[in-house]
């Protein structure tokens, strides 16, 4: 990080009372494969994806919104959620994600609101170009054995600083999140399942979220959680293997 230009403190970064919802679905194999780095493969013939939408009211970076896509993958026989795309609306969160873990964060215009019985989350980039609309009901309380709790995998790539030089970094980073669901005295864990709807409203070659559009929906979940993001672990260094 440039001296005198700090945007965030060192990890771990903490999140309190985070509202998060996601749709789980199957996607097109060829489209998903085009967004995976070397050595990372989908763990099923028809890739399992999740699109997450998040409202973070209290964090190390301040309050902000975020949305991202996960693909269930394998690397060297280990299962992960690989994260190819992610949007945020707060600069410190964008910088920390890109610099520490290699998350492909960009700034975007997003909105989380709840109307009638549904969560609705929209993504625009640039403002006025709707990329994604997510909606979901909360139908019943769910249990943790209904979700896939896997470490997160991301590609941290830093380009060369001089003409003809090698990249400063080209590595796959594993992140093991530390957290727990909110609980209530009567209902227990705040984890719901319901009916998600997901539309990729317009394609964009600049932000290719449309490559991950669903071909079959598998369900959805919503949760309230406290969690922390520690430093990750490098599980593959492309530079040492080249």
Is 8 part of a structural domain of the chain?
no
Question: What is the mean pLDDT of the segment spanning 43-64?
Answer: 97
Q: Which of 15, 18, 14, 16 is nearest to 222 (CA)?
A: 18
Is 33 part of a structural domain of the chain?
yes
Q: For residue 6, what pLDDT is reported? A: 85
Is 4 part of a structural domain of the chain?
no
Is 88 part of a structural domain of the chain?
yes
pLDDT tens, position by position, 126-151: 999 999 999 999 999 999 889 989 99
Question: What is the mean pLDDT of the segment spanning 96-102?
Answer: 96
Is 7 part of a structural domain of the chain?
no
Write the CATH number for 227. Answer: 2.40.400.10
Global pTM reads: 0.95
Is 6 part of a structural domain of the chain?
no
pLDDT tens, position by position, 13-35: 999 999 999 999 999 999 999 99
Residue 11, sorted as left (phi over 0), alpha (psi -120 to 50) or beta, turns out to be: beta
Portion of the chain with pLDDT greater than 70, in percent: 99
Contact 59, 77 (CB under 8 A): no
Structural domain harbouring 71: 13-241
Is 37 part of a structural domain of the chain?
yes
Q: Which of 101, 198, 73 is nearest to 158 (CA)?
A: 101
Question: What is the mean pLDDT of the segment spanning 115-120?
Answer: 94
Q: For residue 186, what pLDDT is reported? A: 82
The total domain count for the chain is 1
Is 2 part of a structural domain of the chain?
no
């Amino acid at each position: 990080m440039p001296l005198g230009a700090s945007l965030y403190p060192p990890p771990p970064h903490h999140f309190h009372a985070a509202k998060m919802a996601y749709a789980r679905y199957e996607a097109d194999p060829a489209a998903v494969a085009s967004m995976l780095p070397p050595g990372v493969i989908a763990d099923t013939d028809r890739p399992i994806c999740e699109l997450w939408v998040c409202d973070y009211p209290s964090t190390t970076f301040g309050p902000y919104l975020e949305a991202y896509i996960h693909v269930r993958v394998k690397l060297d026989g280990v299962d992960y959620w690989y994260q190819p795309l992610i949007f945020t609306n707060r600069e410190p969160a964008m910088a920390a994600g890109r610099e520490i873990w290699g998350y492909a964060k960009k700034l975007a215009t997003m909105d989380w609101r709840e109307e009638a019985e549904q969560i609705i989350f929209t993504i625009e980039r640039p403002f006025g170009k709707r990329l994604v609309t997510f909606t979901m009901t909360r139908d019943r309380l769910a249990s943790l054995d209904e979700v896939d709790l896997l470490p997160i995998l991301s590609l941290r790539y830093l380009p060369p600083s001089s003409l003809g030089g090698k990249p400063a970094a080209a590595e796959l980073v594993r992140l093991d999140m530390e957290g727990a669901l909110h609980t209530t005295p009567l209902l227990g864990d705040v984890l719901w399942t319901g009916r998600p709807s997901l539309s990729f409203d317009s394609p964009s070659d600049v932000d290719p979220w449309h490559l991950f559009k669903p071909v079959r929906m598998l369900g959805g979940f919503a949760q309230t959680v406290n969690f922390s993001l520690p430093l990750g672990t490098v599980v593959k260094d492309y530079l040492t293997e080249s």
